[in-house]
Structure 1
């Protein structure tokens, strides 16, 4: 009886290790840009662990990279059902709204992410970007400022705040932000620098 118990425990451990290997393999495929292969690996892992939140979320991201937005959204919503405090899933849902031009809904999704992760520089930036698209410059500026205050090494909010300053005819502040974004690796800042800051 004792021997049978150890055989069963060993089998469970090996099954778990093989299963974890699939999710690691999925992550590796994702990093290599092999999104279809990543999805297959996540599917294999989810056969054994159907509620593994990280695999469901990462599979959604892989679907998103392949342009399979409905499948991606289904996975992100499943993540929220399983883990209602998952800020990444709310941000990804927000990105889906943003992609469709539904900026008010995107803002609400980013705010939900921020309820669970208030110091999330990425969520603050994304919220600012959606507000910016709505023409709500004052609140967009506040969101960009909050994102920068949270993570001064994150270049995107400098870039977008710079663009906002340009639209408000605040050229000196705009150029300062655009140059900061460029120094932080945001190469897209070079064109507006060439156009407005020379």
Structure 2
């Protein structure tokens, strides 16, 4: 995408720094005497090269996140947007995912998260209600946030549900899927593992863990997960389709074509494109010529 203020290269290169920044903010909060999971309201700053981009981001955060948004102002060579988030229980992970959620959302609008902070009184702390509210309450709040695109807060509410009931595989699985969307595949993998430990036949979790492994380049391990899903659900078209993709990455064209064909027979019409690209006589002859030229 051309003429961006916050490019994909910048987004990737600064992603780790954003995580480290959250840890630093958390440690300063901890040093001030604030306890884990006490509630806080953070203010934040976004910057961009155009007022209109910040207006669009601010409208989204106001309408979907219910954040308080100020009017963008000019600052030297850029524009700046400030606002206040809704309160949430803070620990190191919650703060990191809240920050990553804003970082990723800002990128969608070509705006860069430039910082955040919160005041805190160690002598006057409040905490979320986890004594009278059950895990279902926080699970539903997490889903509401997820459906509005607030991925950071979705993770925070799933984490509170897990804090109340660590034995529900759905909370672990749901949190894993959101972590994947926030590009933290290693911690997502651990959540998938926990969900499957609690529910060994949880095919959605096994399937998604396979995708997670695929994205990490662990194709043989992904195939093992897809094969497990197929053993549990022989009619799972996505498991066949994904396994075909993994086999292709391992240069097993024959096995890939067999899996895509099975996926198509089960209803995966989208498999036809892969079949035409890699399994037709024409594509096979083309690959043979390319190999011969080498």
Q: TM-score, normalised by structure 1?
A: 0.70
Deviation at 1:35, TM superposition (A): 1.3
Deviation at 1:132, TM superposition (A): 1.6
Greater Cα radius of gyration, structure 1 or 2:
2
Find out whether 1:142 has 2:255 as its counterpart.
Answer: no
Unmatched segments (≥5 aa) in structure 1: 1-13, 172-198
Distance 1:108 1:58 in 2: 22
Larger relative contact order (Cα-Cα within 8 Å, sequence gap ≥ 6): 2
Residues 169 and 196, structure 2, Cα contact 8 Å, conserved in 1:
no
Deviation at 1:162, TM superposition (A): 2.3
Unmatched segments (≥5 aa) in structure 2: 1-131, 285-294
Find out whether 1:59 has 2:172 as its counterpart.
Answer: no
Deviation at 1:161, TM superposition (A): 1.8
Distance 1:160 1:24 in 2: 38
Distance 2:213 2:226 in 1: 10
Paired positions, count: 153
Find out whether 1:96 has 2:209 as its counterpart.
Answer: no
Task: Name 1:7's counterpart in structure 2.
Answer: none
RMSD of aligned residue pairs (Cα, Å): 1.9
**By percentage of residues, which structure has more strand?**
2
Task: Name 2:151's counterpart in structure 1.
Answer: 35
Residues 73 and 93, structure 1, Cα contact 8 Å, conserved in 2:
yes
Q: TM-score, normalised by structure 2?
A: 0.49
Task: Name 2:138's counterpart in structure 1.
Answer: 22
SS at match of 1:169: helix
Task: Name 2:224's counterpart in structure 1.
Answer: 108
SS at match of 1:85: coil
Deviation at 1:170, TM superposition (A): 5.0
Residues 86 and 116, structure 1, Cα contact 8 Å, conserved in 2:
no
Q: 1:128 aligns with which of 244, 252, 256?
A: 244
Task: Name 2:119's counterpart in structure 1.
Answer: none
Distance 1:129 1:22 in 2: 36
Task: Name 1:164's counterpart in structure 2.
Answer: 278
Deviation at 1:64, TM superposition (A): 0.7
Q: 1:47 to 1:121 in 2, by over 3 A?
A: same
Q: 1:44 to 1:132 in 2, by over 3 A?
A: same
Find out whether 1:86 has 2:202 as its counterpart.
Answer: yes
SS at match of 2:217: coil
Deviation at 1:103, TM superposition (A): 1.5
**By percentage of residues, which structure has more helix?**
1
